[in-house]
Every structure is written in structure tokens, then in C-alpha cells.
Amino acid sequence: MRKIFLCLFIVFLLASFLSINLSKVFASSYTSFYLLQSGSYNSLSEARSDFNNIDNKLILYENNSYNVYLGVSLSLSNINLMKKKYNNGYSFYVKELYTDNKKFIKNMKSFDYMLKFSKRENMDSIISIMLSYYEENFNYLK
């Protein structure tokens, strides 16, 4: 009986050690970014009609539904800026994703910087570029 407990204890220690090291490796090689989602629909026509007054959107077919995204950013503060911009009765969900695509990260940092210091009237064009760049890098179709 003691041997079983000793073995379980050793397995537990090894598992704890490995999970800590794996999380450090994962954290160091991937960068998180965020998508601002504002709807999930059964049909493309529903998604388009509910957001027909917003030009800058990305509609992706994922997991048997059409998800509407209004922004993408490496920065939660920029996601919050986007939420304020679109605060017309929409509900939002922030989806956190990870990438190791260095070019994507570098360019998104530049876009984030422009968005952070842009005037409200210039936000649309920057958000449009960010969504297009996300779509281009992750091979999604509208």
C-alpha cells in the first residue's frame, strides 16, 4: 500500500513539474491576441442583416454558425475602444487566441499603436485594415 502512495506521489510531482515547464514554453513562444465578437447566427443572411449598418466586420463560418467579428487586437485596451465605438445595443464577447506568427504580431503592434492614438473618425479605416489583415493571415473567407 505504501508503494502505491509513493508511486502516486512521484507521478503527481512529475506531472506538476512538467505542466509548469510546458506552460512556460507555451507562454514564451506564443502571443495572445483578441477578437471582438458581437454575434453568432445560423445563417449568413441573418448575420449580414443584423450588422448591415456596420461596414467593418468579418463574418466567419465556424462550428456550424456564422460569427460576426468587429475587431481584432493584441491589446485589450484597444478592444475596449472598439466596444465603445460600437456601443449601440450590441453585446460583445472577447475571444482570446494565440499565435506564433512573428510577422502578424509585428504588424498588429503597428496597427494597435495607430488605433490607440487615432481620432475617432479615423478608427474605421484602421479597424478595417486590422480585420482584413487577420483574415489574410489566417486564411478565412468572408
Q: Distance between CA atoms of 101 and 30, rounded to whole angstroms?
A: 8
| pLDDT averaged over 10-residue windows placed end to end, the chain, 142 residues | 55 56 59 94 92 88 92 95 83 93 94 91 91 83 44
pLDDT for 66 equals: 94
**Residue at 10 is within a domain:** no
Which CATH number fits the domain that encloses residue 38? 3.30.70.1070
pLDDT for 86 equals: 83
Domain span including residue 72: 30-137
Q: Is the distance from CB of 95 to CB of 62 less than 8 angstroms?
A: no
**Residue at 24 is within a domain:** no
Q: What is the pTM of this model?
A: 0.75
**Residue at 93 is within a domain:** yes
**Residue at 13 is within a domain:** no
**Residue at 62 is within a domain:** yes
